[in-house]
Structure 1
């Protein structure tokens, strides 16, 4: 079973591919969408859940999503058509790092996809290229709660602690407008959903050739999570570019 298909099936019961509850997602979008007729871009959109919720809440928003996963984009298209918002959603199957558009966007999202860009700051640099004047970015990434071991960094990623993460973002020319740190409940709920939903699918489809791989992937992910559960957190930030300082006289 390929990674895209594993992720797609594992997120069936938790369509937001990040440790965030529904109320948190709604609150973040409320803070991030700058106006009712905004143009919104999601870099690494997966199944498009962020865009679907934005389109449903704002009748005049137009949205675009970029991802390499064909199963995820197909699911996003079906969900958008079923929700009656498909005419306002454009999906692109291509590398989000190289995506170009003929227009800018009022909101650029990338939540839980910074690995595709090489880290948090490269993700923000890519988002900045697409941002209209006065636009906002909604980004989500992990951070270390404790000093990581080399094995943890190799397995989960080369993140910073919370203090350093926020300092790096502001030093890079961004002003936070809002932030959310995932709660322990959100983190645990996400992991149990991911591993449990994938396991349930495998047990319900024992004759499927991908069933054994799905069970193995769920068990591996669950074991990793148990080891590193108390080592990392997840932060979402709503950002705007910081204006350049006025020259001193």
Structure 2
């Protein structure tokens, strides 16, 4: 099945593509971009939802986003134009891990995109390369709320518990200045919206050649969530500063 179609469908009801509600997104951005005139970078931006929210809130901010999905970036450009912020947004179609810029950024975002770098700490290494002195990083990734089952590990891979996750970030040279643990409501809403949007499209388009596969994708994901990792999966979003410049 077309990967871009799946991506577009799963974001239909949850634009930031992470288990965070609108109020949590607002609070996290306020803690990250709050000084005025910042240059903001999103590594693995998708449809640039974080950047669009930032630009519409702060008329003096400029932003750049990096992603490998050309269709997602095209949708981001279209929405930016519609919101009147297109002139302040630059989007790069390339691997976020290979992105280079001649100028540093005051804030670097990468929420739910650690897979693109090979894990949380490599994501922070990438952010560090782009961060101006005194800048902040907004990063979000999974952790185990409780000991996972073998099935959960097979589905999602290897993570640490909350305390170990934060300890590793600190040992890597970062100081958390704010954080948010996604609530059970946020986690469940995300999964219901993910599976529900795909299933709804499949049921509404039975004649489409990808319809049956889309319904199977939604059914499989829902089963893996409910039977595999729901009771152990957690998501943490941190606002970080370098412990030493």
What is the TM-score normalised by the length of structure 1? 0.95
Taking the aligned partners of 1:40 and 1:78, their CA distance within structure 2 comes to 19
Q: Which residue is 2:63 aligned to?
A: 63
> How far is 1:4 from its partner?
3.1
Root mean square deviation of aligned Cα = 1.1
Deviations 1:186-232 (A, max 9, x none): 00111101110111111111111121221111111101110211111
1:111 and 1:140 in contact (8 A); partners too:
yes
Taking the aligned partners of 1:87 and 1:193, their CA distance within structure 2 comes to 32
Q: Which residue is 1:19 aligned to?
A: 19
What is the TM-score normalised by the length of structure 2? 0.97
Q: Does 1:81 align with 2:62?
A: no
Q: Which residue is 1:235 aligned to?
A: 236
SS in 2 for 1:188: helix
1:34 and 1:135 in contact (8 A); partners too:
no
Query: Runs of 5+ in structure 2 lacking a partner?
Result: none
Deviations 1:45-93 (A, max 9, x none): 0111000000000001100110111221111111111101011111111
> How far is 1:152 from its partner?
2.0
1:143 and 1:160 in contact (8 A); partners too:
yes
Taking the aligned partners of 2:91 and 2:52, their CA distance within structure 1 comes to 12
Q: Which moved more, 1:147-156 or 1:225-234?
A: 147-156
Query: Runs of 5+ in structure 1 lacking a partner?
Result: 245-249
Residues matched between the structures, number: 244
1:195 and 1:221 in contact (8 A); partners too:
yes
1:16 and 1:49 in contact (8 A); partners too:
yes
Q: Which residue is 2:205 aligned to?
A: 205
SS in 2 for 1:136: strand
SS in 2 for 1:97: helix
Taking the TM superposition and a 5 Å limit, the aligned residue runs for 1:92-131 are 92-131=92-131
Taking the aligned partners of 1:174 and 1:53, their CA distance within structure 2 comes to 25
Taking the aligned partners of 1:4 and 1:118, their CA distance within structure 2 comes to 21
Taking the aligned partners of 1:71 and 1:202, their CA distance within structure 2 comes to 20
Taking the aligned partners of 2:84 and 2:209, their CA distance within structure 1 comes to 35
> How far is 1:34 from its partner?
4.0
Taking the aligned partners of 1:34 and 1:241, their CA distance within structure 2 comes to 17
Q: Which residue is 1:167 aligned to?
A: 167
Taking the aligned partners of 1:63 and 1:157, their CA distance within structure 2 comes to 32
